[in-house]
Amino acid sequence: MNAQDEKLLIKQIREKAESYRDWTAQNLSQIIKVPAMSNQERDRILFLKELCERIGFDEVRIDGLGNLLARVGSGPQKLVIDAHIDTVGVGDRSQWKRDPFSGDIEGGLVHGRGTSDQTGGAASMLTAGRILKELAYSGAYSVWFVFSIIEEDCDGMCWKYLIEEEHFIPDFFVSTEPTSLRLYRGHRGRMEMEVHLKGVSCHGSAPERGVSAAYKAARAALAIEKLNEELKPDADCFLGKGTVVVSKIDVHGPSQCAVPDQAMLYLDRRLTWGENRDMAIEQVRSAILAAGLDAVEVIMPEYRVHSWTGKEYGQELYFPTWKLQADHPLVQAGSQTYTRLFGVPPEVDKWTFSTNCVAVAGRHDIPCIGFGPGDEAQAHAPNEVTRIDDLWKAAAFYAALPYTLPEVLAQSRT
């Protein structure tokens, strides 16, 4: 394709995406009206499947775990664009100004749980698929739009399943988690840990006869607070420092009138570049022992569940760190796509939170970028919204990327 034809094509994609602005918003509104918390995604997946079939994707199928996959094109390589369609719950409903599942469209916004995190991305993907079909896309890629599940409970497990069990392996991957239309190239990993401490129980009327696991837990929690302060950023300060926080303390014993003999601290550990699970576990163990406690057990728990299809699957709660270098061809293709569509280069950054890229890039080293409608700060918050103008712009980006990426890859090889 010569430069003039390419310019006309990009202009056509943008015009189509903008003309479908209201259609995209209406689709998001309808998606929001079908609630789908983790492991309760059946109705939303079936609704999305119907939408994909109505649009006319070349292939639409549901995998064994319950993810929905829709394809345009039949090229030899897989370009995957992913949105998880499950959400967290609504929390305290009294904090919501309107029904969390209203899908109201007002003031240039779509309202409701999941609009930013992250069914806005899913709605934009539908529009991108429609555009590619209308353009009769027949390029280098099979462009797969994946509407994935269980991310909020266990990020990346859906892709661990697809890659390891169904051998569905992307060549390139785009996460549509909210980026405020910035281009993202990494984020910290994370893991969960349990710290187990033991005491010696005795009657509560004479606590000096026992050893309180509660007081051990208190000292251990303070040791974790100190450890968090000592953690360092990555070498180039792109992802930032690792963190660790005590998210739960459980203490119990024989009765309410006894010195407790068992304690458990639950930890949320964010891992920057160069940190891994073995290092993190040893840091926690050493920090607690240094606080004067004589014995501690630190374990990484496992998540295991039956999905909405009935399929049982699970993994350890470890989600590896990932990043791409700024000059990676996929990052450059994303940047060129954005610049050609909107006339200015994108801001390149990273997420604070974690995404399905922990499995695709962190676990399997498949190149990933992020580009999505909505704001990360809206995630899990009451009165969640996303901007309608973000939706059509994201759709244009997803539809244009399959045309830009082969050109950038060819340039990188010369």
CA separation for the pair 309, 62 (Å, rounded): 10
Spatial neighbors of 225 by CB under 8 A, at least 6 apart, are 246
**Is residue 166 among the annotated active site residues?**
no
- C-alpha closest to that of 354 among 68, 67, 117: 117
Cα–Cα distance measured from residue 155 to residue 148, given in angstroms and rounded to the nearest whole number:
10
Q: What are the residues whose beta carbons fall under 8 Å from the beta carbon of 385, sequence distance 6 or more?
A: 109, 110, 111, 112, 115, 116, 374, 378
Q: What is the DSSP letter of 322?
A: E
Token readout for 94 is 């009294």
DSSP string computed for 250-301 = EEE-S-TTB---EEEEEEEEEE-TT--HHHHHHHHHHHHHHTT-S--EEE--
Q: How many angstroms separate the CA atoms of 262 and 256, rounded?
A: 13
Residue 57's closest CA among 169, 134, 140, 170? Answer: 134
CA distance 175 to 147: 11
CA angle 200, 206, 208 (to 5 degrees): 55
Tokens representing 344 are 């200015």
**Catalytic residue from among 63, 82, 86, 117:** 86
In DSSP terms, which residues pair with 303 in a beta bridge?
Answer: 315
Q: Peptide bond before 118: cis, by omega within 30 degrees of 0?
A: yes
Is 86 considered catalytic here? Answer: yes
Catalytic residue among 82, 151, 155, 234: 151
DSSP-derived 3-state class of residue 383: coil
Q: Which residues are designated catalytic? A: 86, 151
